A and B are shown apart, each in its own frame.
Chain A
Amino acid sequence: MRAGLLLALLLVLPAARAELFPTPRRAAEIEALVSAETRASAHGAALTGSFVQKKFLAELPQPLRSSGDFVYARGRGVIWRVRQPLSAEYVLAGNSLIAREGGSEQRLGADAQPGLAAVSRLFAALFALDLESLERDFLLYGERSGSRWSIGLKPRHAALAGALTEARLDGSRQLERVVITDGRGDRTEIELEQLQALDALPPEALARFP
């Protein structure tokens, strides 16, 4: 009973938070909110940085923390390297996800995980700030106060709402934080640091893609 109540509360919460974004806006309007630097680095060939991720799960008193670094390569995908609490590498490219840990490699295709392509597109679009592509799957919201800007994303279609109900990007000079709330009320917060735009993808990163 208590669990049910908690679950109900969690389901209501995202709707309440959505009030932060009163009306959806067009991709072009949103792009204008974002800092020039963010736009510049989003248009480079690659973007690297480190992250700290906190995952807030239902009934879990403390969030699951993880940290590491990432490489976003335009047109290829994202390499997500977790250093803590375990050492693993995830390559999100097109319709597939490769998880490497130690010597083992596990590859998930879109046939095993139909939502994967959407997730992969979401990540690529977040880093590349490809708002037009995001606009296909999401209603876009945005606001700016001073040097800080926020973009909100809400799935347009029920099919994607199973995977996430809301996402929010915050930044000032650069993108700093991504918060994703999923269909069950679990929340993933990702803090991004030391973002660096690169003119070319380093060869060692290139080799990690399939």
Chain B
Amino acid sequence: MSQPARFRLWLAAMALLLAYFGLHTAPNLKLDSNLLAMLPAQERDPGAERASRRISDAFARRLLFLVGAEDYAQARAAAAGLAASLQASPAFDSVQFEPDAGALRPSAVEQAARFGLISAADRARLAAGAADELRDEALRALYSPAGFARLTAVVDDPLGLFDHQLRTALPVPGRATLEGGVLAIHDGAKVWLLVLAETRDSPFSQAIQQPLAAALKAARAAAETAGAEVLVSGVAPHAVAASARARAEMVWLGGGDLLACALLMLAVFRSLRPALLGLLSVGLGIVAALCLVQALFGSLHFLTLVFGTSLIGVAVDYAIHFLCDQFRDPRHWRPADAPAHIGPSLLLGLGTAVLGYAAFATAPLPVLRQMAVFSASGLSVAAATVWLAFPTLARPAAMGGGERWLRLAGLLRPRRAPWWFWLLLVALAVPGLLRLKPVDDLRQLQSSPPALIAEEQRVRALLGSNFDSRHFLIEGGSEQQLLEREEALTARLDALRLSDYTAVSRALPSLKTQDANRALLAPLLLPQGLIARHLAALGYGPEPAARLAAEFAAAPRLEPATALSTDRLKALTALWLGEDAGVWRSAVTLSSVKDASALAAIAADLPGVQWHDPVTETTAVLASQRQEALRRLGLIYLLIAVVLTVRYGPGEGLRALAAPLGASLLTLAALGWCGLPLNLFTVLALLLVLGIGNDYVIFLREGVRAGAPPAASRLAVGLAAMTALLSFGGLAFSSTPFLQSLGLTLALGIATTLTLALFTAPLDSQAPPA
């Protein structure tokens, strides 16, 4: 095929690509920034997976504001302003400032079924035969100055059992108490009012980020201009801060890198065209990668984007290599000559890189698969652009600048290091590698601004309680089995007092428990029973006792469907996950957890009860993925070793591989010496180091094989390393820990790769004469 025909082919393909991107990919591009979302589906069944996600989502959506001022009226006005501001935002689903009165009073369904609704503490006392004690307490409560504040009438509930149940079945938000119809906490001279809110969508969802950030800011401003202090607790502010920071860094660092690369190209080639050509090849590569990832995965993970854009550093190598080809013969070079010269190294470089990423295409972690697809497709399109379009679009550079750079590139002449240099490297590397410690803790990878953490801690201290993301998931073959299993769990939790909890079965006991409760009450409701005597002693006539007995005999039991639709209990539907493929599920959520390992142990010996600790689970997944990625990295080295051995023979092939491999080991050793951790992102960076180092050793060898003056390929490698260092080095200054990990490893790795590549490349004396 002639060059014009190739160029036309490329033009047509790129027009199609851009049209597809503009019409289909860009409008539907979904960016996901939740680190948890990149977890693979675990071994458990999909129903449990969905249930667990729902609970984690609900947890992430919850927000708690404390609005504080010295003066109650001021705090109240400020909190009302904050609540109204949240309410007005599309980012929020529900905002609760003045609790609904219906949430406090028993519904008619509960009232009718009250004989079966007895708190666990009272049930234990009834079962122990301590009904007399309960009667005495009920009597004392009648004369108590707080006696009027009961939720049930004496004639309906003579022992106050239903009253106790109503008061204890639903959780109380920590130390907060109702004051002026809102929840308040007094601390020193200040009064803090509670506003609870739920975001409409997960705070990690990219669609909600903008309105959520705006709403949080506006709400805070609304309260602060009213003279109050605002404290926030919840996942949302952290998600918003992390996302905003990462995005800002991407723009700053990514933009800065691109600019630096362009300036470098401008300096070397003395023309804007090469810089633009470099941008063109990289840009089209990224567009193609976005299209393919979105089409295959439905959404783009934020990490893929970070890793993918770092790939600029690799993709631009092809363009640099092409453009540096002109220094082979500066006076007579025509762009159309280049493909014949750089073709083999381009193909070999791309081939090995794609082969490498293919090893990740079957990784269990979706984000690794995304990165593999993103990288392989992006690099292919960038290389194709160089191969098909550059011969038409490129122009020979103005002379002068290039030659000066060529002389500089002479510094990059391969040389041999003395034996003790290698020994020294090994001596330094081994202890460093031994010091290297893996740290996969999610909390260390996702750091939050200290101000937000301090606020979170103040909220916990004021509230005397804190929500926990850890929870139990319970399943059963029927609603009733589910409730019974939940009760088995709550009985343990009550006995061990390891945590406060919220459970549906506390307000809605199983039918079995309701029957057991009724059986305990039955003897007390007999004509001359304890309740009749109690009522008579208070001075009641015989009717109330008789009516109670009749109501008891005819009383219905409380069923989930009716109970969970009442005003008072509908809040529990968040925990009642319902039926999924024949399995009923519910969650028991926790606050103020004291001993997590003991809680996990409880789940281990109860049927149908699972313990979930999302943070620890994520950390475990990150650890297993780090190991998996390391294994695959080893596999890629093997594959590339085979390719290089086939191409260069066993000795030279292995020497070529020594540069990226040695650089990776030295980089790990350096991290070990500096006390920096090994994590999934370090391994991903090493994968990039391999991709880049591989290009260098191939460029250095192929140029020589093609009979080019070695300086041209050295200049290409030198420029490639500079652009790579510029684009990755920036990430090392990121304040997002995982980006920093990635950047630091890459910067160290590339610098070491270049050095080792020069120490292992064929010497000029070994080169065949031009």
Contacts and interface: CB of A to CB of B under 8 A. Distances in A.
Contacts of B167: 112-114
Interface string B152-174: 11110000000010011000100
A159 B177 contact: no
A59 B540 contact: yes
Interface stretch (A18-26, A116-124, A196-204): A116-124
A119 B145 contact: yes
Given A58-B153, A157-B98, A164-B149, A64 B179 contact: no
B99 interface: yes
B149 A136 contact: no
Contacts of B145: 78, 80, 90, 92, 119, 123
B449 interface: no
Interface of B: 72-73, 76, 98-101, 104-105, 136-137, 139-155, 164, 167-168, 172, 175, 177-182, 538-541, 543-544, 547
Interface in A137-184: 137, 155-164, 180, 182-184
A161 B540 CA distance: 26
A59 B142 CA distance: 15
Given A95-B177, A158-B181, A59 B543 contact: yes
B148 A164 contact: yes
A55 B142 contact: yes
A134 B642 CA distance: 85
Contacts of A78: 145
A90 B155 contact: no
- Residue in A123, A155, A158, A186 with the greatest tally of chain B CB atoms within 10 Å: A158
A188 interface: yes
A136 B179 contact: yes
Contact of B143 (A64, A97, A164): A64
B544 A116 contact: no
A82 B143 contact: yes
20 contacts: A53-B143, A55-B142, A59-B155, A88-B140, A92-B146, A97-B144, A99-B144, A101-B136, A112-B164, A112-B167, A113-B146, A117-B179, A118-B149, A119-B145, A119-B149, A136-B72, A136-B179, A158-B100, A159-B101, A186-B148
Nearest to A121: B179
A3 interface: yes
Interface string A55-92: 10111111010100000000000101010001010101
A116 B172 contact: no
Contacts of A49: none
A57 B155 contact: yes
A114 B176 CA distance: 9
Given A59-B155, A60-B538, A117-B177, A188 B140 contact: no
B148 A182 contact: yes
A121 B177 CA distance: 11
B153 A184 contact: yes
A193 to B, nearest CB: 16
Contacts of A157: 98, 101, 180-182
Contact of A114 (B105, B153, B177, B539): B177
Nearest to A100: B140
B681 to A, nearest CB: 44
A116 B547 CA distance: 31
A86 B172 CA distance: 33
Nearest to B76: A136
Nearest to B137: A106
A40 interface: no
Given A99-B140, A156-B181, 11 more contacts: A55-B147, A58-B153, A88-B143, A113-B167, A115-B149, A133-B72, A136-B72, A136-B180, A137-B181, A158-B101, A164-B149
Given A119-B149, A159-B98, A62 B539 contact: yes
Nearest to A57: B154
A116 B149 contact: yes
Contacts of A57: 153-155
Given A60-B539, A99-B140, A117 B148 contact: no
